[in-house]
Homo-oligomer: A and B are copies of this chain.
């Protein structure tokens, strides 16, 4: 069974999800499709020109505290990024062509939320990719636009999201449920 993992490199809660998903999916025998996309156009369609965590300060303050608790539990380093949200456009484009998209994506999340690096910096991305990130980014412009369109068509409105057999789950805290759904679907059809 396939689980689509929809993530945005600027999204805080996508960080623990990206770090947890391979282990959980492998233990359950579920295949993960890594699907980076951009939340910016989706938020803009809702009238937001910034992260809701910046637009609504009480929500933002809570989110950072909630993230601290989650990362402590998962043994993940968490440092406030150089800015929030970071510009994730280039990273998402590069990810779409990366030979190891899972490894590349995890390294971008670590750069953003653990190492205080600028993930819109070509040098940072090239270093992670092990090749010139500018060429990769240019090659995948159209692919990222299509991917974000597919996210909207799936009804996705936030990140991380998981889609299993047409069923949508939103949030790092729904990862276990999405994986359980995938294993149950497999039993139903098998």
Given contacts A46-B56, A62-B168, contact A69 B177 (CB under 8 A): yes
Q: Which residue of the partner chain, among B59, B65, B66, B170, contacts A62 with CB atoms under 8 Å?
A: B170
Q: Given known contacts A61-B155, A155-B61, is B56 in contact with A170 (CB within 8 Å)?
A: no
Q: Which residues of B contact A157 (CB under 8 A)?
A: 56, 58-59, 62
Closest CB-CB distance, A35 to chain B, in whole Å? 17
CB distance from A59 to the nearest CB of B (A): 5
Q: List 20 A-B contacts (CB under 8 A).
A: A46-B56, A56-B157, A58-B155, A58-B156, A58-B157, A59-B157, A59-B158, A61-B155, A62-B155, A62-B157, A62-B168, A62-B170, A65-B168, A66-B169, A66-B170, A66-B174, A69-B177, A171-B173, A173-B173, A173-B174
- Interface mask (A61-84 → B, CB under 8 Å = 1, otherwise 0): 110011001000000000000000
- C-alpha spacing A59/B52, complex, angstroms: 13
CB A74 to nearest CB in B, in angstroms, measures 13
Determine the residue in chain B with the shortest Cβ distance to A152.
B58
Smallest Cβ-Cβ distance to A161: which chain B residue: B62
Most chain B beta-carbon contacts within 10 A, residue among A58, A66, A174: A58
Beyond A58-B155, A58-B157, A59-B157, 7 additional pairs, beta carbon < 8 A: A56-B157, A58-B156, A59-B158, A62-B155, A62-B168, A66-B169, A171-B173
Residues of B within 8 A of A174 (CB): 66, 173
The interface residues of chain B lying within 8 Å CB-to-CB of A58 are 155-157
Within 8 A of B (CB), among A38-67: 46, 56, 58-59, 61-62, 65-66
A 147-171 binary contact with B (CB < 8 Å = 1; else 0): 0000000011110000000001111
